[in-house]
A and B are shown apart, each in its own frame.
Chain A
Amino acid sequence: MATSVTPSPTLARPELAGASRSTDQVIAHRSAPGRTGRAIYLAANIAILVFLLAPIAIVFVFALNPTPFIQFPPVGVSLRWFEKFFSARDFMHALVFSLEVAVLTTMAATVLGASAALAIARGNIPGSRIIVATMLSPLMLPAILTGLALFQAYVLLDVGRPVWGLVAGHTLVTIPYVVRTTLAVLHNFDTRLEEAAQNLGASPTRTFFEVTLPLVKPGVLAGGIFAFIVSFDQFPVSLFLVSPGNETLPITLFNYLKFDLDGTIGAASVISILLAVLVVIALDRTVGLRSTVKL
């Protein structure tokens, strides 16, 4: 707390600047109870971080531990559960199927979502606020209801449980991420850039391809990365829409977990966590984490 107040434009006014100086003095001479309070504050926050991260760490311990049951402290390091995971046909089939669905979903959600965001931000459609709210609504509606509603529709239309039906469900729950990140970028840059290009003689088409599109690329990319991980981890929609023999990894893990709790699940989980970490890093590199987490 000994750091000074970040200067801000309003602080330039002398009386406010004076106020902030005296604040600094007060903080510098903070009494012992203030320091105790600070210590409690930090301790509580570290405990909360441990609560958030420890379960994830435990999964790693479990996956690398050679015993077939949970043992703490661990007795050694082995890769046998990873071997078992990669040699189990149902897990491999589920992993590949999940990746296929996630890739198809990402392509669909990225193309549809980015187009929609462009239309909303640059198409001058009346009622764009309602359109945005609608496009974000699958995030707000419990995904289990999206799954249930689609399942019922497929039953009524007698189409069975096709893979495209699953991809459509996943696309629906991932589109909001693409729309949100693309819109964020579109709102952040000035339309005068596009006007300038047109004033300098570029056609609207050329402006679109040479100015607008390159500028929205990071937003679309971030949305696509989100769509991929959300689809890969998706559970409630898949629960209703997968067909036996064509199950996604989370569904296969769930079915396995109902009866068994050995290291294979740990190995599968580690792979899934590493993927999440990669995604966080990729998001940080493309658009910065800060701009992706506006809820």
Chain B
Amino acid sequence: MGRPVGSHINGLALLILPSALLFALFFFLPIGLMAVMSLLTGNPVVVPHIAFTTKHYQRLADDSYYLEVIWTTIRIGLWTTLIALLIGYPLAHWMARIKSRAGHALLLMAVLAPMLTGIVVRTFAWMTLLSDKGVINQILLSLGLIEKPLQLMYNETGIIIGLVHIYVPFMVLTLTGVIGRIDERLEQAAENLGASPLRAFFEVTLPLSLPGILAGSLLVFALAISAYVTPILLGGFQIMTLPILIYQQISANFNIGFAAALGMVLLVISFMLVVAYNHMLGLVSGQRELQ
């Protein structure tokens, strides 16, 4: 790519201003306010005398219930990530290696169609499959394999199944990019030298795709711990995760300060994950494809 026309700032640069304004007013200001609110005793609009406090964070740290909620959120995130990786890798490998253009397009559509279907719709789909009178239980009952319906949802298993389905496309797309960049001739060279295809995969392809595995895992984990719809519907309001707790603080308790503190916890976790994700992708693609 040639150098841009002229090398100093020009009139087109002004076109950034509307977006800059939107981001300043509707993104950075609100997040800054959230950080401040998490440290205030009350809402400055309603309460006249307010002061700085760390009580919201102390409440979080002192009550084992909230730590339990954070741990549940992380545990669900970890299981979702692990299963999404195990399911996503073979499909990503196939997509990266398939020779036929039409085959690739079909696979891409199969991955993108669920991704572009709303999250509520996909969660609903899993409810029809997993509920007591759902499709899976009906089939198992009619085949005589079970005598009473299996408890497939309203527990963490149901949540994890739903989350894996929703976020596995992100894993597949991240991995496909990385596996596609691994030179196929390296695997073939290993096989020429006598390695079995399986051994060639484990000793050549898998180690080379490690940065992609980490990047995809970080992405899926970050998405899974911030999910709201799937945990609440497939968990049947029984299982409390951080996003559910945040919304509950707003809708039921109207405790904005505590909600802000919980939000800051989620923000810090997500921020660290994003930094790690970008670092990993940077490792695979060098500097050039960061944009």
Contacts and interface: CB of A to CB of B under 8 A. Distances in A.
B134 A59 contact: no
Interface in A16-72: 19-20, 22-23, 26-27, 33-34, 37, 41, 44-45, 48-49, 51-56, 58-59, 62, 69-72
A292 to B, nearest CB: 8
A135 B138 CA distance: 48
Interface string B125-152: 1111101011100110000000000000
A149 B29 CA distance: 9
A119 B18 CA distance: 11
A23 B183 CA distance: 14
Contacts of B168: 52
B99 interface: yes
A82 to B, nearest CB: 15
A22 B191 CA distance: 11
Interface string B85-124: 0010011001000010000110111111110111111111
A77 B108 CA distance: 30
A115 B233 contact: no
Interface in B1-34: 1-16, 18-19, 22-23, 26-27, 29-31, 33-34
A72 B140 CA distance: 11
Nearest to A173: B27
Interface residues of A, number: 112
B192 interface: yes
A125 B189 CA distance: 46
Interface string A260-290: 0100011011001100110110001000011
B127 A143 contact: no
Interface stretch (B57-65, B203-211, B258-266): B258-266
A171 B222 contact: no
Contacts of B14: 119, 123
B43 interface: yes
A295 B291 contact: no
Interface residues of B, number: 107
Given A116-B16, A120-B16, A134-B23, A59 B128 contact: yes
Contact of A239 (B5, B7, B228, B290): B228
Contacts of B131: 70, 261
B33 A152 contact: yes
A268 B266 CA distance: 32
A216 B119 CA distance: 31
Given A23-B191, A276-B113, A123 B10 contact: yes
13 contacts: A23-B185, A56-B113, A58-B128, A71-B138, A119-B12, A119-B14, A141-B270, A149-B263, A152-B37, A153-B29, A191-B2, A194-B5, A280-B113
